[in-house]
Amino acid sequence: MLDLKTLAQNIRRLTPAKDRAPVQRVVQRLRDDGRVTPSRIVLDTELGVIGDRWAAGRSPKPDAQVTLMRFDVASVMTEGAEVAILGDNLFASLDTSAQNLPPGTVVRVGTARCEVTPKPHRGCKKFAARVGEDAWTLTGAPEWEAEQLRGVHLRVLDSGEGGIGYEIVVESRPAAPPDRGP
C-alpha cells in the first residue's frame, strides 16, 4: 500500500474531466459483501442500482442511492488492482470535487438522470482495510476535503440504463450564490 506522500503526489498528477467522462467500472454490491461488475446496470428512482444491496433489507436513504468515485483516484489507491473492492457503484475519471460537482448538480449517467446530494461520502474502516490507513487519512484530510476523493452520492431522478462506456455528462450545476461584498 502506498504511503501518504506518494498517494498525494500521484493524485496531484491526475487531470480528470470536468463535464463528461465515460463510465469505466460498474459495481453491484451483494448482501454477502461480494461484488459483481456487470457491463450494464439499471438505475431506478426507488431502488438505486437494481441488484445492489442498497435497497435490500434496510431503510434505504434516498440521498445515498448511488455512489460515484473517480476511477483514476481509485486506481492510484488500489495500485492498479480491481477498483470494485472499494464498493462504489460507478467509477469514471470525472472531477468529483465540491467545486465541479456541488450538491444539486444534475448528471446524466447513460440514459438515467441523477442529482449530486449533499450527503458527504467518506471512507470507513472497511475502506482503510482495503487501501490502507494512509489512503483513508488522505481522503479525510482538511486540505483534500473539497476534492471529495472518496466520491459523491447520487439520487436517481429519472430511471435509465448506464454502464461501461456510457458517458456521465454534467447537465447543470446549481447557480452560485450572489457575492454580497463587504
The answer to whether residues 132 and 111 touch, using CB atoms and an 8 Å cutoff, is: no
Distance CA 109, CA 114 (A): 7
pTM, whole model, 2 decimals? 0.93
User: Between the CA of residue 138 and those of 63, 107, 127, what are the distances in Å?
Assistant: 24, 26, 12
pLDDT at residue 57, as a whole number: 59
Indicate if the pLDDT at residue 39 is higher than 90: yes
Distance CA 97, CA 40 (A): 26
pLDDT at residue 178, as a whole number: 64
Indicate if the pLDDT at residue 92 is higher than 70: yes
Mean pLDDT of 96-101: 97
Mean pLDDT of 151-165: 97
CB within 8 Å of 141: residues ≥ 6 apart: none
Separation of CA 69 from chain center = 3
Q: Are strands 106-109 and 167-172 parallel, antiparallel or unpaired?
A: antiparallel
Indicate if the pLDDT at residue 48 is higher than 70: yes
Query: How confident is the prediction for the chain on average, in pLDDT?
Result: 92
Q: How confident is the model at residue 131 (pLDDT cuts 50, 70, 90)?
A: very high
More reliable by pLDDT, 79 or 124: 79
Indicate if the pLDDT at residue 58 is higher than 70: no
pLDDT at residue 61, as a whole number: 80
Indicate if the pLDDT at residue 24 is higher than 70: yes
Q: How confident is the model at residue 33 (pLDDT cuts 50, 70, 90)?
A: confident
Mean pLDDT of 132-161: 95
Grid cell in block for residue 148: 471529495
Distance CA 153, CA 114 (A): 10
Grid cell in block for residue 4: 501518504
Indicate if the pLDDT at residue 173 is higher than 80: yes
Alpha-carbon torsion (72, 28, 131, 80), positive or negative: negative
